[in-house]
Structure 1
Amino acid sequence: MTSPGTPLRIESYKHDQSFHRSWDKTLMLHLSDAVLIGGNDNVRVTESDGREWRTREPAICTFGRGQWFNTIAMIRTDGVYYYCNIGSPFSLRNDLVTYIDYDLDVKVYPDMSYTILDKEEFALHSRRMQYPQDVIDMVYKGVQEVVTWIQERRGPFHPGFVDRWYERYLHLRNP
């Protein structure tokens, strides 16, 4: 059983099962029937073309069970920025988190304003990979759910959420 402090690998794939991106090492902070929360800093990211880079700031990642999105809260000197991946609900097996990335992303700024990104990529891939209509519907529902959560300051957007889990990350990283 995965417990707090366990290092997890995160991998995302595309609808056609091709590899999209991986995050080398994220510390599991919390796992329940509702949510998986992880933290990382200076983690190696590998892209589908083999290119590697490292994240530049600490981040708190949130994966809700059954949700068609996940969030990465990036802790920067001028505030918390969020990158919300619209994707299939996650799977956790043997310390590996996987999900299908469905192109659309929501970038959220410290003032809680947001931008929806990669609409053209979603349109292109939905044609090229022939996304079924039920998947397209769930993707749009995922975007709407993220926007509602931002507006209502729910989950990872709730004031204090990121600070609380970042403190937990620091404790588990440096026991």
Structure 2
Amino acid sequence: MSPTPGSILRIESYKHDQSLHRSWDKTTLIHTSDAVVIAGNDRVKVTEADGREWRTREPAICTFGRGQWFNTIAMIRDDGIYYYCNIGSPFSLKGNFLSYIDYDLDVKVFPDMTYSILDEEEFRMHSEQMNYPPFVVERVRTALDDVLQWVRLRRGPFQSGFVQRWYERYQLVRQDEE
């Protein structure tokens, strides 16, 4: 049975070698369709592969497009919306468990829509260490280009009003839980 809005999801990212990379313990499902899964969290506990734990500092809206090789975390801060875009495999949603493979490259997008590409060296190192197949390297590079194009075109989660609209829905869904 598929989770419904208000369901609590556990999100886990893995590395290509199937080792656990990071997990988020409680993320609230806001919307699911054939095209996308949208969820929200606030001060959620994150556990790293080495067992270190920390909490996020602000509310966030997470967007997972079906079949996409990236996902976005829009962090709502006092000075604007910051995005952290993980380049990774398309996600899998089984019950209340969402997972994907993290392929190292990330894009941090600032409120003014400027951006930084992160972890290129980590991607090169892991692609050699874990022997990423050529099609994976190609998909990762294409996904990076896709994210940058979406930012430039203000598409998907980068559209004006997108994060605010889903954050309002998240707050309503959370109220229904309480």
Instruction: Give the structure 2 partner of residue 56 of structure 1.
Output: 57
TM superposition shift of 1:94: 1.4
Pairing 1:94-109 to 2, within 5 Å after superposition = 94-109=95-110
Q: Deviations 1:143-164 (Å, cap 9, x if unpaired)?
A: 0000010000000000000000
Pairing 1:62-77 to 2, within 5 Å after superposition = 62-77=63-78
TM superposition shift of 1:13: 0.1
TM superposition shift of 1:174: 1.4
Instruction: Give the structure 2 partner of residue 38 of structure 1.
Output: 39
> How many residues in Structure 1 have an aligned counterpart in Structure 2?
175
RMSD: 0.4
CA distance in 1, matches of 2:154, 2:95: 32
Instruction: Give the structure 1 partner of residue 81 of structure 2.
Output: 80
What secondary structure, in the 3-state scheme, does the structure 1 residue paired with 2:16 have?
coil
Is 1:28 the equivalent of 2:29?
Answer: yes
Pairing 1:1-175 to 2, within 5 Å after superposition = 1-175=2-176
TM superposition shift of 1:107: 0.2
TM superposition shift of 1:12: 0.2
TM superposition shift of 1:83: 0.1
Report the residue type matching 2:136 in the other structure.
V
Q: Deviations 1:113-158 (Å, cap 9, x if unpaired)?
A: 0010000000000000000000000000000000010000000000
Report the residue type matching 1:136 in the other structure.
V
Identity of aligned residues (%): 68
| Unaligned segments of structure 1, at least 5 residues | none
What secondary structure, in the 3-state scheme, does the structure 1 residue paired with 2:6 have?
coil
CA distance in 2, matches of 1:94, 1:158: 29
Using the size of structure 2 for normalisation, the TM-score is 0.98
What secondary structure, in the 3-state scheme, does the structure 2 residue paired with 1:25 have?
strand
What secondary structure, in the 3-state scheme, does the structure 2 residue paired with 1:80 have?
strand
CA distance in 1, matches of 2:56, 2:170: 16
Using the size of structure 1 for normalisation, the TM-score is 0.99
| Unaligned segments of structure 2, at least 5 residues | none
What secondary structure, in the 3-state scheme, does the structure 1 residue paired with 2:30 have?
strand
